[in-house]
Structure 1
């Protein structure tokens, strides 16, 4: 494929203005819904083929999320497109102002392999809603899903304005040599730095959705049923999404030492309930995506001191690319498992003397994409919010923020920057153009030379007072300052 030629075609199509119409945007969003509804079984099949995802997990984490996002955008896009009236200070009277959202132009979306359908289509929904033309580059590490997108999207969406380009690192390099109006990247910080370097050459704006070591904090919960709910949600937040291969998955757990024994026993009980006595035989655990990732995760366990901290699990099966849900108690803090994002089914539990120490522990690491805190202590909640920085904070649950369209999703610092979901996706792929309408009368002469002391005093008042205040002072100051002219 001649990438430069494809890009020229997209740019020429964008210049026609067709993608800016509400009709085009709604037709493409409707087509995405048709694609999802008519290919649900096929999507489940390719997700199982690439990642071993169960159909229920596939719907919960990908298919259903795309459907919900497209439906939301379809119902709201006309309202989002409407210019927003803005108040103009009376100093500028007579005038009115508005903010007009316009598409950025030609957008490049890099999706990730762990959620290869939703991380391609959800940003696409935002880019389409905003009226852009788009190139999607699916991850080659999920080849069945990549092929599905490449073959299916042209059957449903306008191929003049939306294209899928497959390939490996060489194709990514070629894409990054081109000039884009926006790049949206989901993936690792290492690759993100390459994307940013390439984008900087053309001053291309970039949204980076990365990851990091997302902590969970488990405070004292004397009520046994609440404690059980908390542990269930932590288990779901660790092993539920793609066997821990998720940027928002729980990376490690902070808890007071006095709870550790009972906590681990409850973890074991819930893991057995979810995944059976032999998780290898379970059909509800996704597998590790490929051999490279499998070896990377297995290497985290090869440190003898880390291996000695295993209190549950630890079984690895290279032939099936399977790693058992594994719990580690207080592994060395300087080991790779505690300094690098795990992105797999290993959960370190770090014990503290007092749960308040969790804030200092989190702040000693790069800013995470999410902090999950299980507590009923409102003072502690406020302390977490005021003394830590993260993409999001979720109290008493895990993962649910990703599917909440009314909240922005994105990172901070090394966990990324930019935000999307719902209206935030529309804004991410739009430029908010300021528009002011003025009348050709009622001139304010002190804005023009020749300068005088009176004009200086007038301008000082103009900046410091509202318009009515200025009018009230104008005559008095004019009389009092005549001697300066």
Structure 2
């Protein structure tokens, strides 16, 4: 009887081709930089097609959000890598212990080999290509599995990458969850996954038999903490930006807000006013992005309905007289006022334009609230008191932090992206990404003239006296 053809069998030839090419040749500085140049030109060439593909996949996506968060961030990463690549690749000197001089030491940065990237649907271009840029800068071959929920963008990326790279340098494979599961079982030299915490656990388990090191970029409930004396109008305006950008479908979006009890209503009023200023209309507004599919939209609506059924006051921004369109999953900006802490919106990452607002009675109580939960991917303190802010930063452990604003830290070339605990492990972006996809290889060079003969058996009196003196 013939053995059934499994998804992993379809991936093996591409993987083995990449591995054979890596073993045959390690790319030089000139080759890596030239590849980045070609990639940058291709991204610019396909820019408008990417905007269109994203809009088709989402049903409606703000063009500026695609250009800013997918195209611009990717081009910035390419530019940053090109600028600093020679320095990153250069071996760095390391000190040698006094007793081993005149030997010398250095750290070299060797490619790991074949890197696997599993990317999500929320920023389908950037979250596939930015780690690829890091991996290529480090001299690796790359295999990408994008999300099946954004097929138009995946098909466009496949064409773009085929224009730029030969099939023994970069491969993009398309398929469903079964293919993704098979992908994570390949013996990559490093595997990067961006997605939910639940799926991240499965990815880590799939990589374990091959001892494949993993970088997990997960999510979680990123808290925003407004200090007692911080102007709530400014905080509300920046939080509205972060919660509505890409319709809240951002791993580092503010997930819930902690606000002083006496200022809760003022904060919510400012928040609703900011929604209205940003989006005078929702039904046909091209600047307001849709939720990616009916599954995600139904989840959000169910969570809103659950909170309402349990007595939560729900405020939803919808301009008067507007009816939301059919065929496009528009979820209006929604605020949940002090919902039950065991409801779904407070137990799961929201990943949409729904914002729980939690009242607190003291700043220390608000910190305790955050500390009682999993470590978040992002933490957003709004505070101008330096002493209090330092205490907050000392106590809260998060993947990234942005003070007095939200989400903008993700686009900084010199700030690595990475979670901690349930929000992930490892880092990438910029130099941190180059190091993630490199083996930092210590090398020691013994001098022709050295004193190691003193430590050869049989041990002399001089050796015994030397060791006694060094360990005195």
Q: Contact 2:104–2:447 (CA<8 Å) still a contact in 1?
A: no
Q: Of the candidates 380, 383, 397, which is equivalent to residue 375 of structure 1?
A: 383
Q: Of the candidates 250, 269, 275, which is equivalent to residue 273 of structure 2?
A: 269
**Residue aligning to 2:81:** 73
Residues in 1 aligned to 2:294 and 2:326: alpha-carbon distance in whole angstroms: 8
Q: Of the candidates 237, 242, 264, which is equivalent to residue 237 of structure 1?
A: 242
Per the alignment, in what secondary structure is the counterpart of residue 99 of structure 1?
Answer: strand
Residues in 2 aligned to 1:317 and 1:323: alpha-carbon distance in whole angstroms: 11
Q: Contact 1:50–1:144 (CA<8 Å) still a contact in 2?
A: yes
**Residue aligning to 2:315:** 311
Structure 1: stretches of 5+ with no match in the other structure? 465-485
Q: String of CA shifts for 1:369-419, please: whole Å, max 9, x gaps.
A: 010010111121111111111112211011111111111110000000100
Q: Which moved more, 1:262-271 or 1:301-310?
A: 301-310
Q: Of the candidates 382, 397, 411, which is equivalent to residue 419 of structure 2?
A: 411
Structure 2: stretches of 5+ with no match in the other structure? 1-8
Q: Contact 2:62–2:288 (CA<8 Å) still a contact in 1?
A: yes
Q: TM-score if structure 2 supplies the norm length?
A: 0.93
Residues in 1 aligned to 2:203 and 2:460: alpha-carbon distance in whole angstroms: 53
| Structure number, greater radius of gyration | 1
Q: Contact 2:381–2:403 (CA<8 Å) still a contact in 1?
A: yes
Q: Of the candidates 202, 226, 237, which is equivalent to residue 218 of structure 1?
A: 226
Q: Contact 2:121–2:149 (CA<8 Å) still a contact in 1?
A: yes
Q: Contact 1:287–1:321 (CA<8 Å) still a contact in 2?
A: yes
**Residue aligning to 1:293:** 296
**Residue aligning to 1:209:** 217
For residue 246 of structure 1, report the CA deviation from its aligned partner: 1.0
Q: Of the candidates 444, 448, 451, which is equivalent to residue 440 of structure 1?
A: 448
Q: 1:340 to 1:453 in 2, by over 3 A?
A: farther
Q: Contact 1:298–1:316 (CA<8 Å) still a contact in 2?
A: no
- 1:85 lines up with 2:112 in the alignment: no
Work out the number of aligned pairs and report it. Answer: 458
**Residue aligning to 2:56:** 49
Within 5 Å, give how 1:386-401 maps onto structure 2.
Answer: 386-401=394-409
Q: Which moved more, 1:202-211 or 1:433-442?
A: 433-442
**Residue aligning to 1:34:** 41
Q: Contact 2:103–2:450 (CA<8 Å) still a contact in 1?
A: no
Q: String of CA shifts for 1:457-480, please: whole Å, max 9, x gaps.
A: 64354357xxxxxxxxxxxxxxxx
Residues in 1 aligned to 2:324 and 2:346: alpha-carbon distance in whole angstroms: 20
Residues in 1 aligned to 2:196 and 2:471: alpha-carbon distance in whole angstroms: 47
Q: TM-score if structure 1 supplies the norm length?
A: 0.90
**Residue aligning to 1:101:** 109
Per the alignment, in what secondary structure is the counterpart of residue 402 of structure 2?
Answer: strand
Q: String of CA shifts for 1:136-192, please: whole Å, max 9, x gaps.
A: 111111111111111221012233211111111121132233211110110111111
Per the alignment, in what secondary structure is the counterpart of residue 235 of structure 1?
Answer: helix
**Residue aligning to 2:165:** 157
Per the alignment, in what secondary structure is the counterpart of residue 259 of structure 2?
Answer: strand
